[in-house]
């Protein structure tokens, strides 16, 4: 029996192309009415929500975004960015895209709110800005987070500095943390620093404790009575030394070792200069004591400065993107 050709040749069925959008379930998509612009030129999708916005609002922000928005049609002619084929935004939640659009459409007319309830909004903008290398959005979000009232806790600032490579936050955060006893930090806060930074802080805390104990007990010495320019009466000089030892412990040593850090080494000079002279200390010896304090070298400042620089280097090493400290 001879083979007969069919009357109509049917083209082979083409499989639906695998696009960047991992899920196509149009029945469950909803529109964000606030950001569904009738004159919008592109439809984006974050999770199961559609946004119709102006392509020009995005294209100028970064090269990475421009590349995403100019994806050519697929081999079957499908052009993403329409309501039927919205452009899927990877690594972007509905809340994140909503907050980013709020920034794009309204930030030029509004000062960032200082309400701490907006922290997550600014973090969403910051995460999107980091993902797509949008410098203006990054600067806006960091500025807004810096000006929340009440301000972010030092531990939270250091955590965000690590996650988002905000090098400018490292110094004030570490300086504030080093003023507190380690017991004041909750375990989740400690773990939020990451293992490398946490180990550096723990070593700095240990060294700081030893340095505080040394400073509290090491009284800046008065000159010998015969070495003073004008000289304290010899019969009184030992009383001056004993009184100065007592004043140092009561006014400096105890506050240094107090659990609430009532005094820091960096504040010793100003603190001592503001004390009322103990009558047991002669004016000559008191002036000598003040000079001895001014000439003292408090090692804690060097410890803090070193750990700050080490943590900055750690953050740079962990970051996928490199930011200059002064270029947020």
Q: Model confidence over 266-289: pLDDT tens digits? A: 889 999 999 999 999 988 889 989
Given this model, what pLDDT does residue 237 score? 86
Mean pLDDT, residues 299-303 taken together: 79
Q: Could you tell me the pLDDT band of residue 22, with boundaries at 50, 70 and 90?
A: very low
Q: Could you tell me the pLDDT band of residue 124, with boundaries at 50, 70 and 90?
A: very high
For residue range 213-247, list pLDDT tens digits in order: 888 998 998 887 665 556 677 788 889 999 999 99
Instruction: State yes or no: pLDDT of 197 exceeds 80.
Output: yes
| Whole-number Å distance between alpha carbons of 124 and 323 | 19
For residue range 44-78, list pLDDT tens digits in order: 999 999 999 999 888 888 888 888 887 776 666 67
Given this model, what pLDDT does residue 6 score? 46
If DSSP codes are grouped into helix, strand and coil, which group holds residue 270? helix
Given this model, what pLDDT does residue 325 score? 54
User: pLDDT over 90 for what percent of the chain?
Assistant: 50
First-to-final CA distance of the chain: 80
Ordered DSSP codes for 22-87: S---GGG-EEEEEEE-TT-SEEEEETTEEEEE-HHHHHTT-HHHHHHHTPPP-TT---SSSSSSPE
196 CB neighbour count, 10 Å cutoff: 15
Q: Could you tell me the pLDDT band of residue 24, with boundaries at 50, 70 and 90?
A: low
The CA–CA distances, whole Å, from 125 to 76, 143, 162 equal 35, 12, 17
Instruction: Give the residue from 328, 225, 235, 327 showing the smallest Cα distance to 284.
Output: 225
Given this model, what pLDDT does residue 227 score? 56
For residue range 72-116, list pLDDT tens digits in order: 766 666 778 888 889 999 899 999 999 999 999 987 667 888 999
Domain ranges within the chain, ordered by starting residue: 26-100, 221-295
**Which residue blocks in the chain are alpha helix, DSSP H?**
55-59, 63-69, 94-106, 119-132, 135-146, 154-164, 170-177, 187-192, 195-217, 234-248, 254-257, 268-273, 283-294, 300-318
Instruction: State yes or no: pLDDT of 18 exceeds 50.
Output: no
């Amino acid at each position: 029996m001879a083979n007969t050709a069919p009357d109509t040749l049917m083209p082979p069925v083409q499989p639906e192309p695998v696009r960047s959008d991992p899920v196509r379930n149009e029945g469950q998509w909803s529109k964000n009415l606030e950001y569904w612009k009738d004159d919008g030129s592109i439809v984006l999708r974050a999770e199961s929500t559609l946004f119709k916005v102006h392509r020009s609002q995005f294209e100028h922000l970064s090269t990475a975004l421009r590349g995403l928005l100019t994806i050519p049609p697929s081999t079957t002619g499908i052009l993403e960015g329409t309501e039927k084929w919205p452009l899927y935004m990877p690594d972007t939640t509905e809340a994140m895209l909503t907050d980013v659009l709020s920034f794009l459409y309204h930030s030029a007319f509004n000062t960032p709110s200082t309400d701490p309830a907006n922290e997550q909004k600014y973090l969403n903008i910051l995460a999107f800005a980091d993902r797509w290398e949008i410098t203006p959005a990054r600067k806006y979000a960091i500025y807004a987070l810096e000006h929340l009232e009440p301000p972010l806790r030092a531990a939270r600032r250091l955590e965000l500095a690590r996650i988002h490579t905000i090098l400018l936050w490292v110094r004030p955060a570490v300086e504030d943390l080093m003023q507190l006893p380690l017991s004041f930090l909750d375990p989740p806060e400690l773990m939020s620093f990451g293992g490398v930074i946490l180990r550096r802080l723990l070593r700095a805390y240990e060294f700081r404790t030893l340095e505080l104990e040394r400073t509290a007990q090491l009284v800046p010495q008065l000159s010998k009575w015969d070495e003073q320019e004008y000289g304290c009466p010899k019969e009184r000089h030992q009383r001056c030394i004993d009184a100065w030892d007592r004043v140092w412990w009561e006014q400096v040593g105890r506050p240094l070792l107090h659990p609430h850090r009532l005094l820091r080494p960096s504040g010793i000079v100003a603190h001592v200069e503001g004390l009322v002279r103990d009558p047991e200390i002669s004016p000559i010896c008191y002036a000598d004591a003040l000079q001895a304090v001014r000439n003292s070298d408090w090692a804690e400042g060097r410890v803090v400065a070193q750990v700050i620089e080490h943590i900055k280097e750690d953050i740079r090493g962990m970051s996928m993107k490199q930011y200059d400290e002064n270029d947020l």
